[in-house]
């Protein structure tokens, strides 16, 4: 199923009053690809993700997922089609134990349709997913109230929530922000593994060094516009990309 288009974004634009947060952005993604999205603060990365996943309605343009027009559809509909996204500010049901936070995707019509485990086994699926992401099953961590967890755990819980939906496309919005180096080091190989197993991944990230370890293709946004799309080496050697990053610290 390689070389088959999974996502197509055409002339996508979002205006907030006088601000053009996303300005006529087009790109497409093949199944199994790993695309990095980079750009300075306020360049439109989160808005682009919000547009693709239905959290924000576009001013104009079109989004096609698996040959279905999903432009402006509700977030839960897009999720049920197989697009999972994490949040820059990780959200959780704070009063629930961490593993119970995965209830919503695990009991979703999508997972039911795909033939997830029996209802009684869903807690085991949740614990397995969390264990892979550093919530050791034999420790107290997966059973603690999500609200009591440190920030880095909340970000990984958000990733586990995404994976529980058994997505075809995973979109990560600054997953590594606020994570300790050791957490990033432990999470990167898991993300690589998901991609190796065939999952298509889009990752907006400021931590370029870590991003460039896992992706061969990077798209650069600046003031809402796509200014480069290519290998990390290609895009970082472009003058307009260096100018966009002038005054900001480029890692890697």
Ligand X SMILES: Nc1ncnc2c1ncn2[C@@H]1O[C@H](COP(=O)(O)OP(=O)(O)OP(=O)(O)O)[C@@H](O)[C@H]1O
Q: Which residues form the interface with ligand X (CB under 6 A)?
A: 16, 19, 21, 39, 41-47, 88
Query: CB of 164: closest distance to ligand X in angstroms?
Result: 25
CB of 28 to ligand X, least distance (A): 21
* CB of 82 closer than 8 Å to CB of 38: no
Query: Nearest distance from residue 9's CB to ligand X, in Å?
Result: 15
Binding residue for Mg ion (CB under 5 A) from 46, 86, 195, 215? 46
Residues in contact with Mg ion, total (CB under 5 A)? 3
Is residue 48 within 8 A of residue 166, CB to CB? The reply is no
Q: Smallest distance, Å, CB 26 to Mg ion?
A: 20
- What DSSP line would sit under 118-166, residue for residue? -GGGHHHHHHHHHHHTT--TTSSGGGSBGGGS-HHHHHHHHHHHHHHT-
> Cβ closer to ligand X: 13 or 88?
88
Q: Which does residue 76 bind out of ligand X, Mg ion, none, counting CB within 5 to 8 angstroms by kind?
A: none
Residue number, 42 or 61, with CB nearest to ligand X: 42
Q: Where are the alpha helices (DSSP H) in the chain?
A: 45-52, 75-81, 103-106, 109-114, 122-132, 151-164, 181-196, 208-214, 232-236, 239-244
Q: Distance between alpha carbon 183 and the CA centroid of its chain, in Å? A: 17
**Beta bridge mates, 229:** 219
Report the nearest approach of ligand X to the CB of residue 197 (Å).
28
* Nearer CB in complex with ligand X: 22/170: 22
CB under 5 to 8 A by kind: which of Mg ion, ligand X, none does 16 bind?
ligand X
Window contacting Mg ion (CB under 5 A); options: 2-10, 15-23, 67-75, 88-96: 88-96
Question: Which C-beta is closer to Mg ion: that of 39 or that of 142?
Answer: 39
φ/ψ bin of 224: left (φ > 0), alpha (ψ from -120 to 50), beta (otherwise): left
Residue 117, sorted as left (phi over 0), alpha (psi -120 to 50) or beta, turns out to be beta
* Pair 202, 37: CB distance under 8 Å: yes
Task: Kindly tell me which of 19 and 185 has the beta carbon lying closer to ligand X.
Answer: 19
Interface with Mg ion (CB under 5 A): 45-46, 88
């Amino acid at each position: 199923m390689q070389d088959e288009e999974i996502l197509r974004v055409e002339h996508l634009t979002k205006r907030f009053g006088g601000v053009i947060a996303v300005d006529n952005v087009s790109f497409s993604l093949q199944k199994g690809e790993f695309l990095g999205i980079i750009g300075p603060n306020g360049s439109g990365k989160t808005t682009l993700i919000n547009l693709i996943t239905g959290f924000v309605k576009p001013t104009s343009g079109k989004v096609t997922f698996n040959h279905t027009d999903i432009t402006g559809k509700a977030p839960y509909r897009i999720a049920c089609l197989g697009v999972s996204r994490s949040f820059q500010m990780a959200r959780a049901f704070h009063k629930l134990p961490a593993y119970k936070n995965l209830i919503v995707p695990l009991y979703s019509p999508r997972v039911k349709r795909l033939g997830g485990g029996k209802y009684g086994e869903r807690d085991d699926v949740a614990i397995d997913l969390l264990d892979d992401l550093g919530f050791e099953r034999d420790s107290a961590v997966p059973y603690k109230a999500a609200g009591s967890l440190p920030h880095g755990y909340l970000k990984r819980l958000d990733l586990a929530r995404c994976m529980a939906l058994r997505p075809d496309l995973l979109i990560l919005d600054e997953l590594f922000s606020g994570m300790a180096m050791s957490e990033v080091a432990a999470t990167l190989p898991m993300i690589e593994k998901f991609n190796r197993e065939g999952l298509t991944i889009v990752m907006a990230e400021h931590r370029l060094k870590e991003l460039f370890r896992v992706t061969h293709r990077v798209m650069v946004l600046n003031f809402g516009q796509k200014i480069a799309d290519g290998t990390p080496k290609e895009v970082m050697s472009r003058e307009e990309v260096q100018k966009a990053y002038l005054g900001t610290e480029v890692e890697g």
